[in-house]
């Protein structure tokens, strides 16, 4: 049966909650007195539809129904989950909870998005305090999984478990904050970093951009995949967490920071941290943790590279030039690279789709060599691949340096017929045969290439006409 969420407050955060529930198949009923709320939520929803479904490798459920209500009571009446995301003012939140509890089901959960208030503060004077918990999300709510689930002593274990189950079912990671505290857990860190950043700017040490570079080019990537303690465990090396704290702990009380109130590093605190870290990460050796970290970093940095953003843009700038056209007469080297960690599969070798990626990169490079480069494509012409035949002849592992050599079988008129061979050293790993057609990007139909491209391609095709026909060219499936 379709479940129903009521979203109270449809701003930045409420809009994100509405999108997440809706795309996970829930019906969503919104109440927000702002006449612009419907437009804003639909815009957030557009971004969520664009980004969220592809995160999953299986189809998402059918979207639920979205409705807007002028009356709060009408919005919350049938709801299983009520998410409050009104402005961060206790008085406003109290007023909303009073209206909600007069109209909602007693078995519904009321979650508050509050960034700062403790659940016990939200529950003050409530008709049924046990129904209200903090469920603090992070922007964009439809993508980031973390929800800080903060109960007070007034909430029973069943409510907390039910909240966890529902949040998990909509793709969230509920982090049960066991002891309520102002600003919960995550915003305490953000607050500390934020304060330090404001001082760095005020004292003329760094600009906003320099501060952002200091985060995103380095420790931000480490934090994203291991957090703080697992990262520092590795930094302690084989001597471990205790050693790390003993080594770096004392500098916390040096006057480096404006945040001077530092807990004393008693033996008890050091032991507590070390044993918690053992429980968290002790099943992996430091070398294993390093490998896990490195694989994660490679995957993340290559994802950023594809977006030409942050640390990924640095990778793009730093990489050596791609192979250049040296001699039209030889099979032409179009790709030379190491197999990256994220190209391997559960069998431990390069995934079959990455063979095609490498051959696709070879074709792209060859297109650039004959003049079909970014400027030409921007001017409205390109080649589209019409047909591909791949043979996987031998396996290859991460780290191996592969080389693709490209031979032109036909380069005439609208047609470009390429035969790629992939090698590791002298070992033939795969062949890929591609038929491409030149198209006009305006009409999306076949068209003649520019005279420059036709001449260059014709020259290479003529030089390659004297090469022997490659073994396997024109082969069909099953005929190796």
Pull the structure tokens for residue 113: 């998005």
Q: Please identify, using beta-carbon distances, which residue of 115 and 123 lies nearer to ligand NAD.
A: 115
Contact of 95 with 84, CB cutoff 8 Å: no
169 contributes a contact to ligand NAD by CB under 6 A: no
Residue of the chain from 4, 83, 101, 114 that contacts ligand NAD (CB under 6 A): 114
> What b/e sequence results for 380-392 when a residue is b if at least 16 CB atoms lie within 10 Å of its CB, and e otherwise?
ebbbeeeeebbbe
**Contacts with 390 (C-beta within 8 Å, 6 or more apart), sequence order:** 352, 355, 356, 359, 430, 431, 432, 433
- Segment 53 to 112, residues that bind ligand NAD, using CB under 6 A: 85-88, 92, 96
Helix boundaries (H) for 129-173 = 157-169
- 137 near ligand NAD (CB under 6 A): yes
Among positions 115, 159, 281, 406, the unique one binding ligand NAD when judged by CB under 6 A: 115
Who's near 377: CB < 8 A, 6+ residues apart? 441
* Residue from 37, 234, 439, 457 in contact with ligand NAD (CB under 6 A): 37
Q: Which of 4, 6, 14, 405 binds ligand NAD (CB under 6 A)?
A: 14
Q: Does 152 bind ligand NAD (CB under 6 A)?
A: no
> Which of helix, strand or coil describes residue 50?
helix
350 DSSP assignment? B
Q: What is the C-alpha to C-alpha distance for residues 366 and 359, in angstroms, rounded to an integer?
A: 10
Q: Which residue is closest to ligand NAD by CB? A: 11
Per CB under 6 A, 428 contacts ligand NAD: no
201 to 191, 213, 233, 259: CA distances (angstroms) = 15, 14, 31, 15
Choices 6-14, 152-160, 385-393, 471-479; region in contact with ligand NAD by CB under 6 A: 6-14
- Interface residue with ligand NAD among 5, 8, 166, 332 (CB under 6 A) is 8
Pick from 472, 480, 467, 475: nearest CA to 332:
467
Report the residue number, 34 or 288, with the smaller CB distance to ligand NAD. 34
Q: Which of 5, 10, 159, 167 binds ligand NAD (CB under 6 A)?
A: 10
DSSP symbols for 184-221: TTHHHHHHHHHHHHHHHHHTTS--HHHHHHHIIIIIHH
Looking at the Cβ atoms of 208 and 253, the one nearer to ligand NAD is: 208
Minimum CB distance to ligand NAD, residue 70 (Å): 11
Determine if 263 is a binding residue for ligand NAD (CB under 6 A).
no
Q: Does 310 appear as a known binding residue?
A: no
Residue identified by tokens 């007070």 is: 152
The per-residue b/e assignment along 39-52, b for 16 or more CB within 10 angstroms, e otherwise, is: ebbeebbeebeeeb
Torsion of CA 107, 181, 274, 284, to 10 degrees: 40
Minimal distance in Å, beta carbon 84 to ligand NAD? 8
Answer yes or no: is 12 a known binding residue. yes
Q: How far is the CB of 29 from ligand NAD (least distance, A)?
A: 12
111 is in an annotated binding site: no
Question: 13, 45, 82, 454: which one contacts ligand NAD (CB under 6 A)?
Answer: 13
Which residue matches tokens 């999953």? 56
- Shortest Cβ 228–ligand NAD spacing (Å): 21
Q: 292 a known binding residue? A: no
Q: Which is nearer to ligand NAD, 112 or 406 (CB)?
A: 112
User: Which segments of 253-375 are extended strands (E)?
Assistant: 332-338
Tokens of 409: 């079988």
Q: Which is nearer to ligand NAD, 14 or 360 (CB)?
A: 14
Q: Which is nearer to ligand NAD, 115 or 406 (CB)?
A: 115
Pick one of 2, 34, 73, 153: the residue that binds ligand NAD (CB under 6 A): 34
In the complex, minimum distance from the CB of residue 7 to ligand NAD, in angstroms, rounded to a whole number: 9
Tell the smallest beta-carbon distance from residue 190 to ligand NAD (Å): 10
String of DSSP letters for 300-323: HHHHHHHTT-THHHHHHHHSPPPP
Of 99 and 231, CB closest to ligand NAD: 99
Q: Which of these ranges, 56-64, 132-140, 165-173, 175-183, lies near ligand NAD under the rule CB under 6 A?
A: 132-140
Asked if 152 and 160 touch (Cβ cutoff 8 Å), the reply is no
Residues annotated in a binding site: 9-14
Residues annotated in a binding site for NAD(+): 9-14
Provide the binding-site residues for ligand NAD, judged by CB under 6 A.
8-14, 31-34, 37, 85-88, 92, 96, 113-115, 136-137, 139
């Amino acid at each position: 049966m379709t479940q129903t969420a009521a979203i109270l407050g449809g701003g930045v955060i409420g809009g994100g909650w509405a999108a997440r529930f809706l795309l996970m198949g829930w019906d969503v009923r919104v109440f927000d007195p702002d006449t612009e709320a419907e437009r804003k939520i639909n815009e957030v929803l557009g971004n969520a539809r664009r980004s969220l479904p592809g995160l999953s490798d299986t189809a998402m459920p059918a979207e639920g129904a979205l409705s807007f209500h002028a009356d709060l009571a009408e919005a919350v009446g049938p709801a299983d989950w009520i998410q409050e995301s009104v402005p961060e003012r206790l008085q406003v939140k109290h007023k909303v909870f009073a209206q909600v509890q007069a109209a909602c089901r007693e078995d519904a959960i009321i979650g508050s998005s509050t960034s700062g208030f403790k659940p016990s503060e939200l529950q003050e004077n409530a008709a049924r305090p046990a129904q209200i918990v903090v469920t603090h999300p992070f922007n964009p709510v439809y993508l980031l999984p973390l929800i800080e689930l903060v109960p007070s002593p007034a909430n029973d274990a069943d409510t907390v478990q039910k909240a966890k189950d529902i949040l998990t079912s909509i793709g969230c990671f509920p982090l049960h904050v066991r002891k309520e505290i102002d600003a919960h857990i995550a915003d305490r860190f953000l607050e500390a970093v934020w304060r330090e950043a404001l001082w760095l700017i005020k004292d003329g040490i760094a600009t906003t951009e320099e501060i952002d570079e200091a985060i995103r080019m380095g420790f931000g990537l480490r934090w994203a995949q291991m957090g703080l303690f697992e990262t520092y465990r590795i930094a302690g090396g084989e001597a471990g967490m205790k050693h790390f704290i003993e080594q770096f702990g004392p500098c916390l009380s040096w006057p480096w920071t404006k945040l001077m109130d530092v807990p004393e590093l008693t033996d008890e605190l050091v032991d507590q941290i070390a044993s918690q870290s053992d429980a968290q990460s002790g099943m992996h050796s430091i070398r294993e943790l390093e490998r896990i970290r490195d694989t994660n970093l490679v995957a993340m940095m290559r994802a950023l590279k594809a977006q030409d953003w942050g640390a990924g843009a640095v990778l793009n700038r730093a990489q050596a030039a791609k192979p250049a056209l040296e001699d039209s007469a030889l099979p032409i080297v179009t790709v030379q690279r190491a197999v990256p960690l994220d190209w391997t599969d559960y069998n431990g070798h390069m995934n079959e789709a990455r063979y095609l990626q490498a051959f696709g990169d070879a074709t792209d490079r060859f297109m650039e060599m004959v003049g079909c480069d970014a400027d030409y494509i921007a001017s409205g012409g390109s080649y589209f691949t019409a047909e591909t035949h791949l043979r996987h002849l031998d396996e290859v592992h991460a780290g191996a340096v592969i080389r693709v050599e490209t031979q032109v079988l036909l380069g005439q008129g609208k047609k470009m017929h390429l035969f790629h061979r992939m090698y590791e050293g002298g070992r033939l790993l795969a062949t890929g045969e591609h038929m491409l057609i030149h198209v006009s990007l305006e009409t999306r139909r076949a068209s003649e290439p520019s005279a420059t491209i036709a001449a260059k391609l014709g020259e290479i095709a003529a030089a390659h006409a004297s090469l022997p026909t490659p073994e396997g060219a024109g082969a069909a499936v099953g005929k190796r």
